[in-house]
Amino acid sequence: MINTFTPRKPKRLKTHDYLQQGYYHITICTHNHQEAFGTIKNNSMILNEYGHIANNTWIDLPNHHKNIKLDEYIIMPNHIHAIINVVVGAGPARPFTKYKNSNNMSIIIGSYKSSVTRQINKLNNNKFRWQRSFHDYIIRSSNHSLYNIRKYIINNPANWDADENNIKNYKLKGRAGPAPTATFDKI
């Protein structure tokens, strides 16, 4: 049998130890930018049932992964922006995964996505999916950089009309045009 799948390239920075102390800006998107988590009204995010699942699961992450603290975050209609602070020696946590290094960023985000998917799919018969992987940005030690990213996250709902993740602005690879218009019925 011929393998027709393209091997996945890790998008993490190869020269960086993601277990070391620091701040990380994470962006996680839904599959095909489906607006699953709610809507923007009057420049504010209004979470639906799935959005509350995504929010509550995010808040619960430090209970499952030792040495992380959550910073600013926002659940948007089809993506999540968040800052995770890896802190050496931070509070106790129960293991969430069978993996030794449960603070590896890929494992943290993978366990989050898995938990949200499982909870949502119990409600809608296995229709929810995430985009593959996630985007991360290592926040340099400058307080100015951290401040700017926090401000970006806080203001994200007010900037939704121009957001590149807004399905109205989404561009297919290599071709301009609208993304698939699938949305979830549950609100």
Question: At 28, which CATH number?
Answer: 3.30.70.1290
Per-residue pLDDT, 20: 61
pLDDT band for position 41 (cuts 50, 70, 90): very high
Q: Is residue 5 part of a domain?
A: no
Q: Is residue 76 part of a domain?
A: yes
- The domain total for the chain is 1
Q: Is residue 48 part of a domain?
A: yes
What mean pLDDT comes out for the span 143-158? Answer: 92
Q: Is residue 172 part of a domain?
A: no
Range of the domain at 28: 22-162
4: left (phi over 0), alpha (psi -120 to 50) or beta: alpha
Indicate the pTM of the whole model: 0.76
Tokens of 145: 């950089």
**pLDDT digit string, tens, across residues 21-31:** 789 999 999 99
Burial of 147 (0-12, 13-18, 19+ CB in 10 A): exposed
Per-residue pLDDT, 2: 56
As separate numbers, helices (DSSP H) first and strands (DSSP E) second, the chain gives 3, 6
Burial of 52 (0-12, 13-18, 19+ CB in 10 A): middle
Return mean pLDDT, the chain.
79
Beta carbons within 8 Å of 174's beta carbon, 6+ residues apart? none
Selection from 99, 72, 74, 102 nearest residue 85 by Cα: 72
Q: Is residue 79 part of a domain?
A: yes
Q: Is residue 182 part of a domain?
A: no
Q: Is residue 170 part of a domain?
A: no
**pLDDT digit string, tens, across residues 65-102:** 888 999 999 999 999 999 999 887 554 444 444 444 54
φ/ψ of residue 144, rounded to 5 = -65, -40
Q: Is residue 147 part of a domain?
A: yes
